[in-house]
Amino acid sequence: MVLTRILEIYCWILLISCIFVNLYAFGILDSRNQLVWKIGMFLERLTEPVLAPVRRVLPTPGGVDFSPMVVLLGIQYVIQPLLADVFSALIMH
């Protein structure tokens, strides 16, 4: 159950990172602000190790980055059900 909770927290971090990147891209947040820069770097360090391999494989049509959506869908529909099956199998034995 701890691993499931960690995945849920990581999903929230991915969503927050996506919102942050869009606010920055549209000029709502100023990257010259030290706090904004630190938050951006923190989120990037948490998300890039997972997103970078997906970005290498996935094309970016029209400059739109779909890698966060692919990772979120992968966590929600592949990893979490597999974890549930593994945990239930461990409990049964």
Residue ranges per domain, the chain? Answer: 2-92
Q: What are the angstrom distances between the C-alpha of 20 and each of 35, 37, 41, 69, 85?
A: 13, 11, 11, 15, 34
> What's the pTM?
0.83
Cα separation of 67 and 72, whole Å?
9
- Binning pLDDT at 50, 70 and 90, where does residue 58 land? very high
Cα separation of 37 and 30, whole Å?
8
Question: At residue 48, does pLDDT exceed 70?
Answer: yes
Q: Angle, nearest 10°, between helix axes 80-92 and 2-25?
A: 170
* Mean of the per-residue pLDDT values of the chain: 91
